[in-house]
Structure 1
């Protein structure tokens, strides 16, 4: 049996799986996400005490996490790899912290810490909130700077321009920002967070309300995208990145694990073609690790999936089928160019992406 097999992926060891898992569902209550993040910013002028500086900061992510996946994509599209290093947590964690169990001896090779919590505690001793990815850490002090993921990508786009690669696309163009912000608000509340409101609902009523809102928004987005290739304008923007990371996880995780099962993504023609278009665009699909995605959700959320059993399916071959979205026009990178291949050490293993055999 090859490791490209979905069955092999499902049966793979759950490294980093912890003995004490977090609790994600409160019986009788709807899920409400805590959005009070560390709002310190890394800016060109350093007004918060953290100026943009090549080599000073480390972006800590987990490929499993959709919020972190956004930052991986933006960093890659803009060519920030040489200015901003990236640390990878494993796909599973306990109730206490994300861990660096993919690295030798379980230590991040730059920060030399075993748990992301160590960077939070370095700046905020006794940090009382959840330890989340993505997070940007100040390498000289080992202290977390920010975990404000919506702002992190915007700052990559607007504050780190001196370090963008030649040909980097404009992902947050000034003349479209109001429209991008408006689209992002609806996508966040109803889709990005909507799938979690379904999955972590503590009663039937909360689940059904979240379910109805989710699919109403997906239908609305299908109508919007039926005659235009991208969400805003004729190029890829921040809005597409934010929607894509949820859609990429829809069939492997959200449809079953989170009970978002009116339709699979592959049964929603417009969104499915849109998702494949982005997936096949350099910088998107090459950041997706389906093995880690499935391992994270099905192992970590033990109050939803007590056995920790990881489903074998779905078949992933169809992500590489023709999408025909180019017939709608549009220029993926505008006046820019596609990014080159991922850097060594940042390549998703072939066994964990989309199978290319047969």
Structure 2
């Protein structure tokens, strides 16, 4: 691939999703990144306003360039986010911060970079498995939306593979699913995608559908209240909802492992997974992941990890900024300078 443009330091890296915009400064190639205050996207009219607020407490040299992981496809220098009204305008960001360069990648490219860069202590082992060297990995994460990405390991080089796999179709498989699915259609319409049931608002859709099936009025109207009630054992409908969520997440993760041939491992990130860890540790997730005859035997050897780092995408972006030659990240149509 063409020689990469080098981002001048300091670099401000950003992980911008539907709910939060997280930023950090990478002062130099050989220094740790420094976290800046997280900004709620709803609190600011634009990314430029959020950046200026985050930098308000930064007393070091101003950033010279920016590298952002964005929750949406990067198809030009104006990038609308999937679950947020912001449009990231590369030229406007460079002008607002007086930057000489700006680069944007998909948010799950940032998560994939983290799967390559983070040490073992930043991951919780759900299954040890038997990783095969130089084999693909998958990364998926339920949060505000449902992100999906891949990571390919080559000798001396990591290749993150972006995509929008969170929007694939989901369908019923068991008699229990068939009884639930009409109620899901009533919540989300004729097409039920992964993101329609496997993210924050998806959890709420699933909970309302389970409530309707059980002919009971929903007690909760926020996803965090559903998870809290399920973990506390206070609400059987909430518990049933989380168990469906975990099973469907396992099925999708297993499907993605088949698509990628992900014998290097599966990495579950996003804001929801750490919260529902007790349910993920239940055998229903791994059973759903492995139940892919005739390939269950090799799927059952795939290591599965849950992210434990507070902001993995920032760590992945910082690693790329420091040593871009270790990562095959395309800059075509995604790098701008002035």
Taking structure 1 as the reference length, the TM-score comes to 0.33
Report which of the two has the higher share of strand.
Answer: 2
Taking structure 2 as the reference length, the TM-score comes to 0.34
